Amino acid sequence: MNDIALRKDILEELEFDPSVEARHIGVAVNDGVVTLTGYVGSFAERAAVERIVARVRGVRGIAQEIQVRLPANRKTNDDEIAERALKIIAWDTTIPTDRIQVRVENGWTTLRGTVDWEFQRQAAADAVRKLSGVTGLTNELALGQGVSATDIKQRIENALKRAAELEAAHIRVGVLGGKVTLDGKVHALHERAAAERAAWSAPGVHVVEDRIKVE
């Protein structure tokens, strides 16, 4: 697919999805890599735009340059955002709330502390991302499990084989300590994301370096 046709498909997909306001979003495409510009009204909408674009066939990469511009009536004090963040994290019983700290500066929220699993790390970020007043998010939550590299590699390879949307034979897994490296090729960006999720699903994974190419 050429860049002009891909840009048209992306714009149509953004217009089609009711969760985002597409009229303020700019899209440029160069060799399958999409640059997103413009502005949205919340950090959650910014994340939604990226998810929508990633599922369009032919997208090989995304450069996210969209700004979050909060309406005057939706701006929230930093201390209120921090308090709400801690409360919404506490509502999720799967997250070890007592090990998480929240810092907010001009709406930009940073999560720090230690959790046991990647799904807990993501759940905390997903919860905070939806809060009104949040303009950005840095997830510095660390993972605290220790598992052998051989076990990690085996678990990830098994997860890749179970994933219906992936051809596991085209993906190679390397493990050094808690760092996982993924190599190989897939046909779409959402397949690459699925491989990353499979890697993060294994206990003991602290870093995932994704070198998979979209072809």
Q: Domain 149-214 - what CATH class? A: alpha beta
Lowest mean pLDDT among 31-45, 76-90, 136-150: 136-150
Q: Does residue 138 carry a pLDDT above 70?
A: yes
Contact 20, 14 (CB under 8 A): yes
CATH of domain 3-68: 3.30.1340.30
Contact 170, 195 (CB under 8 A): no
pLDDT confidence of residue 93: 87
List, for residues 21-59, the tens digit of each pLDDT value.
888 999 999 999 999 999 998 888 998 999 999 989 899
Q: How many CA atoms lie within 13 A of 34 on its CB side?
A: 31
Higher pLDDT, 167 or 69: 69
**What is the pTM (predicted TM-score) of this model?**
0.59
List, for residues 106-133, the tens digit of each pLDDT value.
889 999 998 888 888 889 999 998 888 8
Contact 137, 107 (CB under 8 A): no
- Asked if the domains 3-68 and 149-214 are classified in one and the same CATH topology, the answer is yes
Domain limits of the chain? Answer: 3-68, 73-143, 149-214
List, for residues 150-193, the tens digit of each pLDDT value.
888 888 888 888 877 777 788 999 988 778 999 998 888 888 88
List, for residues 15-24, the tens digit of each pLDDT value.
999 889 888 9
CATH of domain 73-143: 3.30.70
